[in-house]
Amino acid sequence: MPSANGDALLRPDPSASLVHAFRLVAERMRGLAFVNPALEVEAVAFAPWDGHWLGVLVTPWFMNLILAPRDDAAWTHVEPGKNRTYAFPAGPYEFIGARDDVAGEYQMCSLFSPLLHFDDQETARLVAGLAREALFDAENAENAQPPVGNLSPARQAGGATQRTAIQARLPARPLDR
């Protein structure tokens, strides 16, 4: 949607609407076995990326990367439940389309679920921020070509393996009868 002066109208940071929507869900989920009572709903490190808003949503039951529209011209609609892959320096990540009456349209990529191994909100927040940062570090990309190696035991002179060479140095045992 262009503004009156012709510039693209940019949507505001979706953090507040996402937190509000998922706090409503959290109220209904309280007490379920996979819900961590030490955690609360929080939007972490939302910032513009490639015409979208990118951040991490922490809830008591999941931690997801979230993409939400910022520039409508750059946004690609993905039907709820359908997938779309985005390329980051750390590699390709698959996001699932979603829609909520409060939060609107967004796409999500699961990082952790459930979050029962997180002791507190501070730890979850730290991990969320580090996970978002890690997307932009090419060192985190999986190698397209796995390293090639020889998994066969190394041969010693005379055709012996390392195992047989070590066994040859051990004192002889009498056979068990």
Domain for residue 91, yes or no?
yes
Average pLDDT over residues 81-106: 96
- Number of domains the chain is built from: 1
Domain for residue 58, yes or no?
yes
DSSP letters along 79-122, please? -BT-EEEEEETTEEEEEEEEEETTTEEEEEEEEES--TT--SHH
Domain for residue 5, yes or no?
no
* Residue 9 confidence (pLDDT): 87
Cα–Cα distance for residue pair 44/26, rounded to 1 Å: 17
Domain for residue 152, yes or no?
no
6-52 tens-digit pLDDT: 456 899 999 999 999 999 999 999 999 999 999 999 999 999 999 99
Domain for residue 149, yes or no?
no
Q: What CATH number should be reported for the domain holding residue 27?
A: 3.30.1460.40
| pTM score over 0.75 | yes
Domain for residue 136, yes or no?
yes
Q: Supply the range of the domain harboring residue 22.
A: 15-140
Domain for residue 9, yes or no?
no
Which range is least confidently modeled, 84-88, 92-96, 152-156? Answer: 152-156
Structure tokens at 70: 């910022």
Domain for residue 172, yes or no?
no
